[in-house]
Amino acid sequence: MSFAVNPEPWDAEDGVRLRAMQRAELDARYGSGDHEPGSAPSAGDITLFLVARNHEGTAVACGALRRLDAGSAEIKRMFVLPGQRGSGAATAVLRRLEAEAARLGLTELKLETGTAQPDAIRFYEREGYRLIENFGPYAGEPLSVCYARLLD
């Protein structure tokens, strides 16, 4: 299946809805709403927010970049609707995030996922991300698992 993956405003309705669904899923997986070390991403600190739409125009996945420094950014708010998992939507969003990061002159992408997200861990490892020491606000966090990938 192919997806149209394009930048959209952080506060647009479909992105807000997808991020709310992600938050609800993570709250359920971790048993609380307190599972995100550091500051939550916002319109003010997100460099790029992407939404993937299927052939009918329905928003099915999202992902964002938050710049860390001159050469790197963090992947934030990767989410795919449960019924669309395995469809290629996550890979489409990830590849577009990587392409846009490279276009911006970034050389490395980092991300944080968690111990209660084995599906995300498998996905990022399959897509070439390597396990790294927990960075920034995730250092010392027992539920955090961090990954990075150098861009071509």
Residue with structure tokens 């395995």?
Answer: 86
| The pLDDT value given to residue 140 | 94
| pLDDT, tens only, 40-53 | 899 999 999 999 99
53 CB neighbour count, 10 Å cutoff: 17
What is the percent of the chain with per-residue pLDDT over 90, rounded to a whole number? 89
Under the banding of pLDDT at 50, 70 and 90, the label for residue 33 is confident
| The pLDDT value given to residue 38 | 81
Which helix (H) or strand (E) segment holds residue 76: the answer is strand 72-80
Please give the CATH superfamily to which domain 4-150 belongs. Gcn5-related N-acetyltransferase (GNAT) (3.40.630.30)
CA angle 34-23-40, nearest 5°? 65
CA 43 – CA 152 distance, rounded (Å): 28
| The pLDDT value given to residue 37 | 82
With a cut of 90, say whether residue 82 has pLDDT above it: yes
